[in-house]
Amino acid sequence: MLSRGFRSVAHGRSRRSNRLRLVGVLNLKFHLRFRSLAAAVAALALLTPPSFGNAEPVLLPFRSVHSLILVDAKVNGVPATLLLDTGANNTVINAKLYGDVQAPQLELARKGPGIVGHAFRLRVDLEIAGRFLFSQPVSVMNLGDLPQHVGAQFDGLLGQDILRQFRSVRINYRAHVIELEK
């Protein structure tokens, strides 16, 4: 009986030490994972472009024509004028920037504000403020006589898909700049 009691006590110690070993192994795995996660976060911080890390907003000059805000940009390296459209879900580029692309004509919406039409998606390099370069799909459509209809010449609409990538977008009408904060 004494030997049986000794075994159970010894067995109990063994379980306890196994538990301690298991906790130690789990803690080690956690620390290794945490350390590799911390290293990955530090590496990601180093890869972030300097323009995105600045606390100062980037100033995007604009001009106002008939209460419309027009900004200069580059689409695949080609200078373009974009109409700031905070109501547009997607950035739209006029098919004329692509030469003889056969895109259906757009129509003004018959119900409610906006435009309707058929578009196709293309990935473009879009540069704004001379600093931010976005490589993402945009809608390409034939804007037809929309620029003449609204009374301003432009090559596309700068929509929410681009604007949402900034933490803050402020329009400074006095200085004629849009303040973009990453």
pLDDT of amino acid 46:
42
Per-residue pLDDT of the chain (182 residues; tens, 9 = 90+): 444 444 444 445 555 555 555 445 445 454 445 455 555 444 444 444 444 455 688 899 999 999 999 999 999 889 999 999 999 999 999 988 876 444 445 454 445 455 666 778 888 899 999 887 888 899 998 888 888 888 899 999 999 999 999 999 999 999 999 999 98
Q: How far apart are CA 77 and CA 12, in angstroms?
A: 73
Q: Is the pTM of this model over 0.75?
A: no
- Distances from the Cα of 79 to the Cαs of 31, 58, 76, 89, in angstroms? 51, 19, 9, 22
Per the rule left: phi > 0, alpha: psi between -120 and 50, beta: everything else, 66 is left
Q: Does domain 57-181 have CATH number 3.10.20.600?
A: no
Q: How far apart are CA 98 and CA 10, in angstroms?
A: 81
Domain range summary for the chain, segments of one domain joined by +: 2-47, 57-181
